[in-house]
Chains A and B, each alone.
Chain A
Amino acid sequence: ELKVEQNPLFLSMQEGKNYTIYCNYSTTSDRLYWYRQDPGKSLESLFVLLSNGAVKQEGRLMASLDTKARLSTLHITAAVHDLSATYFCAVDRRSGGSNYKLTFGKGTLLTVNP
């Protein structure tokens, strides 16, 4: 059974600081996703990471993937209040074809304080 663990689950940080959220998964995977969810809202896709060593950046967020270590990181640079949200990583493991069956981590609740 595929397991996805995120840490930390809660993160309170000051504006302007840097931090990293970690996502470990238990078995080989085809792809890894990062999503953001604001309170009462749906999930917004941030990144799709497809291969070992993949790195993607959007604004103050950068995601990377190490398939050998089964680890993805979401790095936050110079945090701002608008980044406050819950961040999920999700892993997609397929037996073939293009079936979608994501296993999500528990999420990291990020609060950025002024």
Chain B
Amino acid sequence: KAGVTQTPRYLIKTRGQQVTLSCSPISGHRSVSWYQQTPGQGLQFLFEYFSETQRNKGNFPGRFSGRQFSNSRSEMNVSTLELGDSALYLCASSLVTGTGVNSPLHFGNGTRLTVT
């Protein structure tokens, strides 16, 4: 079974540009979450989507946005990039059952974004 796939693996952008990252969850997984990982702040929750709806959002500015498509694939967008946005962005998917849970998040390999 294929894992969570994130593209691209590496990105280099300059300040002020925007970027779109893509995530394909494990087949059958309908919940997709995004996390930012930096040496200083660690792993921080960005947002979570289920059935094309954003259910949770972390404490990030409005420059960070996302969406989920009907096939559960998800994208996140960062506009007006700042140097501090340099990070590893991790996507995770999970199987949500009718009773509401129990499966862990399965993480992709991440997209490493460098803003210069």
Residues of A within 8 A of B (CB): 30-31, 33, 35, 41-45, 48, 50, 88, 90, 97-107
Q: Does B101 contact A (CB under 8 A)?
A: yes
Take A98-B101, A101-B48 as given contacts and tell me if A45 and B31 are in contact as well, using a CB distance cutoff of 8 Å: no
* Main secondary structure on B side of the interface with A: strand
The answer to whether A101 and B45 have CB atoms under 8 Å apart is yes
Q: Does B67 contact A (CB under 8 A)?
A: no
For B45, give its contact among A30, A48, A102 (CB under 8 Å): A102
Q: Does B105 contact A (CB under 8 A)?
A: yes
The answer to whether A104 and B42 have CB atoms under 8 Å apart is yes
Residue of B nearest to A31 (CB): B101
Which residues, 67 to 112 on B, are CB-close (under 8 Å) to A? 90, 92, 94, 96-97, 100-110
The answer to whether B102 and A48 have CB atoms under 8 Å apart is yes
Q: How many residues of B contact A (CB 8 A)?
A: 28
Instruction: Specify which chain A residues have a CB less than 8 angstroms from the CB of B92 in the assembled complex.
Output: 43, 100
- Min distance, Cβ B88 to any Cβ of chain A, angstroms: 9
Residues of B within 8 A of A (CB): 31, 33, 35, 42-45, 48, 50, 55-56, 58, 90, 92, 94, 96-97, 100-110
The answer to whether B105 and A42 have CB atoms under 8 Å apart is no
Residue of B nearest to A95 (CB): B56
For B105, give its contact among A45, A97, A103 (CB under 8 Å): A45
